[in-house]
Amino acid sequence: MTTKEKIIESAISVIQSEGTTNYSLAKVAEKTGMTKAAIFYYFKNKAELTRSLISYTIDAYEKILQEEYQLAKPNSAFPFTEAYINGNLRQLDDEKLVGLHAALIGTVMSGEATGYDWNDAYLKDFERLVPEIGEERAEFVRYTIDGMWHARILRIPEFAMEGRKSVAASLLSMIKQK
């Protein structure tokens, strides 16, 4: 693991254990075992580190979607849609990714980072859904998945794993009735 990757992993750990309110370069440096000045060699400021965390999260998300796409592609008329639904469902069970998504959304909401990277990823997914299932269904799928993320991030107990699986199965069933 490179030093830059260690810094990113430490930043993730700080955000997950202390929240975005206490997320600072000093705490990241301490967690990494470096000085704050050494962090500046890799990231010019906290905003740049946060942007790297957002990229890290999007890359992890894209990797899971790609894995799910490869599984769905041989047997599906809607491989990206299935990958999108199953990939998100899979991520919703990963505590680290859920925590990181929640924390990074917090940084966007607080103004510490922009939502442009998220918006780009969101638009890219939408543009891949539309040719398979149409714009209206693509919107429905996205909003349903977003609701699942919000429920998970907010720790709504009624929407535990079985509820998410049931909703995902209903979405897939609806899509296949196209």
What pLDDT score was predicted for residue 118? Answer: 74
Phi, psi at 161, each rounded to 5°: -50, -45
Residues 42 and 7: beta-carbon distance below 8 Å: yes
Which residue, among 73, 100, 139, 123, has the nearest Cα to 8 in the 3D structure?
100
What pLDDT score was predicted for residue 30? Answer: 94
Provide CB contacts within 8 A for 38, sequence distance 6+.
29
Element at 51 (helix H, strand E) = helix 46-72
What pLDDT score was predicted for residue 110? Answer: 63
What pLDDT score was predicted for residue 158? Answer: 65
What pLDDT score was predicted for residue 77? Answer: 92
Taking the chain (178 residues) in consecutive chunks of 10 residues, what is each chunk's mean pLDDT? Answer: 90 81 89 94 90 84 94 94 93 78 68 68 92 94 89 74 82 82
What pLDDT score was predicted for residue 54? Answer: 82
What pLDDT score was predicted for residue 74? Answer: 94
What pLDDT score was predicted for residue 136? Answer: 94
Would you say how long the chain is, in residues?
178
